[in-house]
Amino acid sequence: MVSNPLTDPEWATRTVDFIDRLVATVRRYTTQPLVTTARGVVFGLLGSFGVVAIIVLFVVGLVRGIQAGLDAVVNHQASVWISYFILSAVFLVIGSVLMRRRYTEEEK
């Protein structure tokens, strides 16, 4: 119902409430999904970069640990090559197991 702003003391409050509801509705259906999607992408990328960095640092530490352990038995050059062979064999076994498990029995 249209009211006269000169005679209705609640006119300004109702008008501001209407505009506020309208802006909140527009924000809920336009801006909020975009903000949520952008946050998901940013946090997903940060998390994946962190996981990759942790894996790389773990493998480097593993190589250095194996080399340090082998230095007590053989010279340094041989311990480097033996550590490479050990880790390549471990990764070969892991890769072979994962390749065999990539399909289920129904897909074969």
Q: What is the pTM of this model?
A: 0.64
Predicted local distance difference test score (pLDDT) of residue 2: 61
Q: At what angle do helices 32-71 and 76-100 cross, to 10 degrees?
A: 140
- pLDDT grade for 96, boundaries at 50, 70 and 90: very high
CA angle 18, 21, 22 (to 5 degrees): 85
CB 79 within 8 A of CB 71: yes
Q: Write the CA distances from 94 to 42, 60, 62, 89, integer angstroms.
A: 31, 18, 16, 9
CA pair distance 84, 16, nearest whole angstrom: 71
pLDDT tens sequence across 30-63: 888 999 999 999 999 999 999 999 999 999 999 9
